[in-house]
Amino acid sequence: MILEIVSPEAKLFSAEVTSVTLPGIDGSFQILNNHAPIVSVLGKGVVKIEASSFKFSKEVAGKFTKVNDQNYTLAITSGTIEMKDNKVIVLAD
């Protein structure tokens, strides 16, 4: 599935991913390939991204924390998410 993470300043990430775990306001939840359509509000927490490879622009690379070669995290304070047709769009603050 495709994951796009957008902040008010810039597009932070756009790539094929295996899974994404998000900080919902009622607890964290994970989205995998072919997940049912969903729209949700996000709270303060960490977005966990799993993918086979990562490419970040130099301007935004410092916002992400490397866990290992297939996992990175991004701290957010709030946001929204939409999953539809195997595309996840995260609007994050």
In the numeric block, the tokens 């047709």 are attached to 85
Q: 2-92: which CATH topology?
A: ATP Synthase; domain 1 (2.60.15)
Residue 57 sits at φ, ψ, to 5 deg, of -75, 155
Domain ranges of the chain: 2-92
Strand partners, 16: 2
Residue 58's SS3 state is: coil
Whether residue 56 is predicted with pLDDT greater than 90 in this model: the reply is no
What does the pLDDT read at residue 46? 98
What does the pLDDT read at residue 76? 97
Report the b/e string of 48-59 with b at 16+ CB within 10 A: bbbbeebeeeee
